[in-house]
Structure 1
Amino acid sequence: MTDTRKPKAFTGRHMTAILVGFFAVVIAVNFTMARFAMSTFGGKVVENSYVASQHYNEWLKRADAQDRLGWDARITLDAKRHVLLAISKDGVPLGGIRASATINHPVGRTPPAALNFEPAAGGVLRSVEPLVLGRWRLDLIVRHGADEARYRENLQ
């Protein structure tokens, strides 16, 4: 016995349904991705880019002065997620340093928070508070006498 039914013809309604379905999926994906993008990163690096540009040469001079100090900064996390800071010059630990730091989430999910340090063994400074699990950006200012250095480190 053979099947004598004729296949249904492809009509304009079929094509319309395919096109509407395709574009509905594309639009839904675009809106979803745009929503995720807007909710995770505000896109702001500095408050006012024009004002920041006015300080650019000053920042370059400060960076050159920091390079001339010859300090080597080693920033790590211990097992309990305390930030450890060791500053050395020519391989010798630099004593009597003071540090202040701010931590924040790299894409601005949390407001910046101050991080306090206390002296630890071997001339190392150790943060008083441990970091919560996750990615963090550490903005650090280290002072030794009249000298100052700034560091930015990503920690996980």
Structure 2
Amino acid sequence: MNASFIDRRGFTLIELVAVLLLVGVLAVAVLPRLSGLGELRIDAWREQAAAGLRLAAATAVGHRRLVCASLSSSGELALEVAQAPDATACGNPLTGPDGLAQVAQAVGNTVTATPAATLYFQPNGRVSQDAAGAQVSNFVISASGMSDLLVYGQSGHVE
């Protein structure tokens, strides 16, 4: 066998340097975009919460019962419905499409609701701060990294 045809395996130094440069360029271009995953999570939570609040409003009007939406500071949104049409307290869990009463899971950010953390969806379509429906008001739900979630007290509209 001829010595010039020795079986050489592996990569040359130039190939290794080229691959390392390519990996470095990709890391610089792609890694900053991966930090946006937290923004996707907060956007998904906002959509879950809005859907849950719309479910509460539709259930209150459709079933002619009081529906309570409780929002914790961690972002958990739970729904309860009154047992009877004239009841002024919520006691039964209102399950969402997945069968859970918690329609929005914890988001990892601090969530605040102004003026109160419990929204009372009345059978007449309004949203109030109390179960009796005397204090109808607009609600603003906010967390860092997302646009505010608005609930209009007079109409129950969620945006």
Give me the TM-score of the superposition, normalised by structure 1: 0.34
Give me the TM-score of the superposition, normalised by structure 2: 0.33
Higher strand content, 1 or 2:
1
Q: Which has the larger Rg?
A: 1
